[in-house]
Structure 1
Amino acid sequence: MRFSKNLQSLSIAVAAACGVAAGFAGLTYTASPVQAAAAAELKVGDAAPDFSLPASDGKTYKLSDFKGKQAVVIAWFPKAFTGGCTTECKSLAANGDKIRKFDVAYFMASVDPVDGPKGNKAFAESEKTDFPILGDEKKTAAAAYGVLNAKGMSNRWTIYIDKEGKIAAIDKAVKPATSAEDMIAKLKELKVAQK
């Protein structure tokens, strides 16, 4: 009787210890993207982290290729084929001719893979985009830009980078339905050259 009671107490103690350990392990795992994002959160005037990412058009884009040549806009979004992201994509696709009046390279970007039925290539094709959608499947660029959230997806933030490779503006309140109009207004405000 005493033996089984001690065994039961031991089992409870072991289970509790395992639960605490699992909880700490889980906390470390789920907190790490947030910690990475918080550590990397950029401010206006900071140098924009370089990246090399595959895109929906089959090319790989590097930020350093645009330095000294063109401003760059990266419209980060959480997930392809979801409501708000589709609305944002439609807005940018419908207004590409107005955005291209500026001397700017612009992209949408997420941590989705480029290929696959739910990837950014399929997303770009479904929305008939005339701009590339970057895929950051390893989440390294998203973490470097501070847009990676606790769910392991990117926040809906638009990052504006000037010709010299510095952060010119960060829009953390993107409205999907007016994202193109808002981008055009911001490009004017930042005095990005027009072609």
Structure 2
Amino acid sequence: MPRLAVGDTAPDFTLPTAEGGTVRLADLRGRRVIVYFYPAASTPGCTKEACDFRDSLASLQAAGYAVVGISPDPVPALAAFAEAEHLTFPLASDLDRTTLDAWGAWGEKTLYGKTVTGVVRSTVVVDEEGRVTHAQYNVRATGHVARLRRELGVD
């Protein structure tokens, strides 16, 4: 599974969102974007990570960052997750895993001591021109957003 690296051009995507619209990376050009990939809506780790992004959203946005979460969940599951957790940033559905593959967030990982294929919890930060400035794979849900904020210099 090829992974993105600092300096790479982030692959564009157009995906349906929990709100019933679509999100396109191309529409976010001119802004810095945090794209994070998570395995499954409404699971404990994914809920912790999403709520950490939710709780940090105002400071991230004040620093010029947009946040987009992507998983292979269907739109109705994302909509229920967003409503239950009061998430106000786009959650996008990548049912066919095309974006997950292109961004290096789908592949083999170790889960409870076994090698499985699935979503590799990942976060990629893209600059205003669409270039990768940070690419983090196999991140832990707990504490990840706080560490990312420190790395980005966001208070």
Higher Cα Rg, which structure:
1
**Pairing 1:88–2:49 present:** yes
Q: Corresponding residue for 1:136?
A: 94
For residues 103 and 142 of structure 2, what CA distance do their matches in structure 1 show? 24
User: Do the aligned partners of 1:111 and 1:153 also contact (CA within 8 Å) in 2?
Assistant: no
Deviations, residues 75-111 of structure 1 (Å, cap 9, x unaligned) = 1111111111111112112222222211121111111
| Displacement of 1:152 | 5.0
Q: Corresponding residue for 1:42?
A: 4
Mark the runs of 5 or more structure 2 residues left unpaired by the alignment: 109-115
Q: How many residues align?
A: 148
User: Do the aligned partners of 2:4 and 2:104 also contact (CA within 8 Å) in 1?
Assistant: yes
For residues 3 and 72 of structure 2, what CA distance do their matches in structure 1 show? 17
* Equivalence map 1:119-158=2 (5 Å): 119-150=77-108, 151-158=116-123
User: Do the aligned partners of 1:102 and 1:187 also contact (CA within 8 Å) in 2?
Assistant: no
| Displacement of 1:153 | 2.9
User: Do the aligned partners of 2:105 and 2:137 also contact (CA within 8 Å) in 1?
Assistant: no
**Pairing 1:183–2:141 present:** no
For residues 183 and 55 of structure 1, what CA distance do their matches in structure 2 show? 24
For residues 181 and 171 of structure 1, what CA distance do their matches in structure 2 show? 14
User: Do the aligned partners of 2:120 and 2:138 also contact (CA within 8 Å) in 1?
Assistant: no
TM-score after normalising by structure 2: 0.87
| Displacement of 1:127 | 0.7
Mark the runs of 5 or more structure 1 residues left unpaired by the alignment: 1-37
For residues 140 and 172 of structure 1, what CA distance do their matches in structure 2 show? 17
User: Do the aligned partners of 1:90 and 1:127 also contact (CA within 8 Å) in 2?
Assistant: yes
2:49 maps to a residue whose letter is E
Deviations, residues 109-162 of structure 1 (Å, cap 9, x unaligned) = 1111112xxx11111111111211111111100000011024553211101111
Q: Corresponding residue for 1:58?
A: 20
Whichever structure has more helix as a proportion of its residues is 1
User: Do the aligned partners of 1:110 and 1:153 also contact (CA within 8 Å) in 2?
Assistant: no
Cα RMSD between the aligned structures? 1.8
1:87 maps to a residue whose letter is K
